[in-house]
Amino acid sequence: MSEPGTNASLPLLEVTDLVKHFSIKRGVLIDREVGQVRAVDGVSFRIGRGETLGLVGESGSGKSTVCRAVLQLLAPTSGSVKFEGLEIAGLGRRQMRPLRRQMQMIFQDPYASLNPRKRIGQIVGDPLKRQNVASGSELRRQVQELLERVGLSSEHYNRFPHEFSGGQRQRIGIARALALKPKLVICDEPVSALDVSIQAQIVNLLDDLQDEFGLAYLFVAHDIGVVRHISDRIAVMNEGEIVEQGTADEVCERPKHNYTKKLLAAVPIPDPRESRERQHRSGSVQ
Amino acid sequence: MNAAPLLSVSDLRVGFATEEGVVQAVDGVTFDLRHGEVVAIVGESGSGKSVTAQTIIGLTRANNARIEGSVVLDGQELTSAGDAEMRQLRGDRIAMVFQDPMTSFNPVYRLGNQIVEAIRAHRPDTSKREGRKRAVELFEAVGIPDAERRIDDYPHEFSGGMRQRAMIAMALALEPEVLIADEPTTALDVTIQAQILDLLEQLNRRRNLATILITHDLGVVAEVADRVLVMYAGKVVEEGTLDEIFYDPQHPYTWGLLGSLTRIDRPRPQRLPQIAGSPPSLLDLPEGCPFRPRCPHEFSKCSQYPGLEARPPDSPGHRDRCWLTPEEKKEKRMVEGQIGLEAPREAPSA
The per-residue pLDDT for range A19-31, each reduced to its tens digit, is: 999 988 887 777 7
- By percentage, how much of chain B surpasses pLDDT 70? 97
Q: Which of B164, B189, B224, B255 to mutate to test the interface with A (most CBs of A within 10 A)?
A: B189
Rounded Cα distance, A73 and A180, in Å: 18
Of the partner residues B45, B258, B278, the one whose CB lies closest to the CB of residue A270:
B258
| pLDDT score recorded for residue B12 | 97
Q: Which residues pair with B107 in a beta bridge?
A: none
- C-alpha to C-alpha distance for A96 and B211, rounded to whole angstroms: 53
Residue B102: its pLDDT value, please?
75
B312 pLDDT band (50/70/90 cuts)?
confident
ipTM of the complex: 0.81
Q: Contact, B123 vs B174, CB < 8 A? A: yes
DSSP-derived letter for residue B70 is: E
pLDDT in tens, B192-221: 888 888 888 888 888 889 999 999 999 899
Note the pLDDT of residue A4. Answer: 47
Tell me how many residue pairs between chain A and chain B have CB atoms under 8 A apart: 121
What average pLDDT does the structure give for chain B?
90
Which residue among B45, B191, B276 sits closest to A165, beta carbon to beta carbon? B45
Q: In terms of pTM, does the model score above 0.90?
A: no
> What is the predicted pLDDT for the residue at A7?
56
Whether pLDDT at B152 is above 90: yes
What value does the mean pLDDT take over residues A263-279? 84
Q: Which class for A27: exposed (0-12), middle (13-18), buried (19 or more C-beta within 10 A)?
A: exposed
Q: Which member of B191, B243, B278 has the closest CB to residue A263?
A: B191
By Cβ distance, the residue of B193, B243, B262 closest to A226 is B262
**Segment 153-172 of chain B within 8 Å of chain A by CB:** 159-160
Q: How far is CA B42 from the centre of its chain?
A: 6
Tell whether the model's pLDDT for residue A286 goes beyond 80. Answer: no
Would you tell me how many other CB atoms lie within 10 Å of the CB of residue A255? 20
The mean pLDDT value for B29-58 works out to 93
Q: Is the distance from CB of A221 to CB of A56 less than 8 angstroms?
A: yes
Instruction: Provide the pLDDT confidence category of residue B344 given band limits of 50, 70 and 90.
Output: low
Across the interface, whether the CB atoms of A225 and B45 are under 8 A apart is answered: no
User: In chain A, whose CA is at the least distance from the CA of B195?
Assistant: A266
What's the pLDDT score for residue B349? Answer: 44
| Chain A residues in contact with B194 (beta carbon < 8 A) | 265-266, 268
| pLDDT above 70 as % of chain A | 94
Residues above pLDDT 90, as percent of chain B: 65
Q: Is A232 on the interface with B (CB under 8 A)?
A: no
Give contacts of A152 with chain B, Cβ < 8 Å: 350
CB B69: neighbour CB atoms within 10 A? 17
Main-chain phi, psi angles of A81, to 5 degrees: -125, 110
